[in-house]
Structure 1
């Protein structure tokens, strides 16, 4: 059975969306190392207002604005000092006819309605400061200008009221949102559990040392695991030899432990295609998508756990993840879809008419250089900074053509 890119995308979405929707929830401390990048499972409301209390924006003097209304250069007003209010102290009372030295972040004394920065006084600096319980304040501060009510005062709840929504359900937890949650008194955040994914690579060629003829390093496992973790998944890897019976039994056992299985390799039309041999008898579907690279594709369900089956060439495997799995992962992680940008082709490009071709590319000051389409060129994949999609039916694009590109490896 053959299909096009969008048809296979729809098949995979239908397979994955119910699994993602059914992920259970957990509550993590607001300072948990694992919290950034997670997604809220429910709306979170403020327990405290932000600011939590009315406080000073400046180091200065808390005063009654009415008592300074006539201050001028010609008629300076000198007021005796009251007790000092420092950050973390309990609220004090401002006695009529006095001013209280107040530090940034300190509770505004009861009765004060304005703050004058210390540098705006005639003295320009604080004198002897006395906090409650340390003695009797002495000295004065002199003012030559009025100070309007509310000046340099941060009212309680100015940013957020207690009980207000801090984070809606489905919000991605950024460092700044975590800061807002902590500031509003939230200690535990309900989040969606991470999607548990098993990446299973197959092939006897991966099982030996890299210096042996016919043996190669397994680049797919670390590459795909890193990509999945970038989308917020919890990933384990498993490498199995080319034994269809052992593979089928191993995947059945693993299906009970994870939410999604991702197999790599062993699904083409040739001999020794171990994944197809193991999963086709278990109801797996294997077909060709009109796509280059990444034409062979498959999927199955094992004990209700979906298994996506990608081709084994590294470029094909990574692009399969980006084309078919990443959209669901982005929805689950509340990440935006990539945005296309217009660039001018640096050179002509040829593509098979019957396939949707995805090419790696390099961007350079408004132009895009399209790289070789080979599915084994993993270093080209690593140095590319964009993808170019050439739809079915287009065989040739001339140099200078404006095309859409999607940035990658950023």
Structure 2
């Protein structure tokens, strides 16, 4: 029987290398940079005003006070997008707006609030310092500066930073396409009336959402029933990078995934964990597969522990995902010899089982109450209030 960490490493070994692509900046949200993003232009691209006010020469206004104001004639104005074309001459001022280019000859901006003005002149009652309220060219970034490093998951603020320095296209890793195949004659589609003995199919809904939240593109390949030929046909795809199956991996007479793939490059084993003990993985005709159990909570836990790290590797993100340390706010039992991954609620700095029914792998409706997973070591059979535990929030 494998440990959870051993199986996670085996799964990670199947991860295809991330594929670099170039995207328009507006399409790059959530992607991971394959190379550093460097400034294509200075930011700001020119000296400009940080305030609405008046562009002046420091030498003309340095003595201005409320008791001894300085009056200057106006030459014109500089607006954002419409700069003043002439050079400021001594003894004059130029009306200027926030973001407008500094006129030639001006070195300081006096804020509107400390002035009085009409159409012809401005009276200045206060000045702060030479160069006040001027944003200098390239004080944010110079051409060629690294603005965003490689291996960074791009957020909206990253995109804005890249846009500010003129990076219209960026090198990122392609989003992995993940095929999702749920199996079982017992599965009824949403919207249908289940036949006797059937249940609503929820695993593909879970994985579809989890893959999207993890930065991938889900591709539904099923569901299919308990027929080997249907499984083999469903995984013969060249438009996905990874296939995740659910169900049919244990020791039952109708465990179709195991029957279909055991001799084709996939291996099946037990992992010392609860829930999610039966697992499978491998490569079939060059396609990496992760074969998860069919019980819905087992699927949720297995995605977090095994599928998510593989997707992160395919996206160019670092490993491993971090667990934090917390304390148990309630007592519960755990199976001997297996790590338990208990769906828990996070409450006031501690965790407690999300349901009074334990870590049952069928309790999908109760899983909605959970914030994440508590990891109980394999040698612990009784969790006590106040015990230290590892905790990780669900990724999606």
Superposition misfits of 4+ residues, deviation over 4 angstroms? none
Whether contact under 8 Å (2:77, 2:84) holds in the other structure is no
How many angstroms does 1:52 deviate by? 1.4
**Unpaired segments ≥5 residues, structure 1:** 129-138
Aligned partner of 2:9 in structure 1 is 10
The structural deviation recorded for 1:399 is 2.8
Which has the larger displacement, 400-409 or 61-70?
A: 400-409
Give the corresponding residue for 1:401. 387
CA contact (8 A) 2:33 2:172 kept: yes
Select which of 143, 150, 158 maps to 2:139.
Answer: 158
2:297 touches 2:367 (CA, 8 Å); kept in 1?
yes
Distance 1:338 1:196 in 2: 24
Alignment of 1:4-403 (within 5 A): 4-16=3-15, 19=16, 21=17, 23-32=18-27, 35-92=28-85, 93-121=87-115, 123=116, 126-128=117-119, 139-207=120-188, 209-238=192-221, 239-251=223-235, 253-254=236-237, 256-331=238-313, 332=315, 334=317, 337-346=321-330, 348-370=331-353, 371=355, 372-403=358-389
Which TM-score applies when normalising by structure 2? 0.93
| 8 A contact 1:37–1:333 mirrored in 2 | no
Q: How far does residue 7 in structure 1 lie from its aligned partner after superposition? A: 1.2
C-alpha RMSD of matched pairs (Å): 1.8
Counterpart CA distance in 2 for 1:98 and 1:173 is 47
Contact persistence 1:207–1:241 (CA under 8 A): no
Q: CA offset at residue 384 of structure 1? A: 0.7
Give yes or no for contact 1:72–1:144 (8 Å, CA) kept in 2: yes
Q: Could you tell me how far 1:281 is from its partner in structure 2?
A: 1.6
Give the CA deviation at 1:286. 0.4
CA contact (8 A) 2:325 2:388 kept: no
Structure 1 residue 207, shift from structure 2 partner: 4.5
Cα distance in structure 1, aligned partners of 2:316 and 2:300: 19
Unaligned runs of 5+ in 2: none
CA distance in 1, matches of 2:146, 2:386: 50
Check 1:207–1:401 CA distance in 2 against 1; reply closer, same or farther (3 A cut): closer
Structure 1 range deviating more: 142-151 or 191-200: 142-151
Partners of 1:46 and 1:163 within 8 A in 2: yes
Tell me the distance in 2 between the aligned counterparts of 1:246 and 1:72: 87
**8 Å contact 2:327–2:386 — kept in the other structure?**
no
Match of 1:90, SS state, is: coil
Distance 1:12 1:334 in 2: 16
What count of residue pairs does the alignment treat as equivalent? 387
Q: Distance in 1 between matches of 2:93 and 2:26?
A: 39
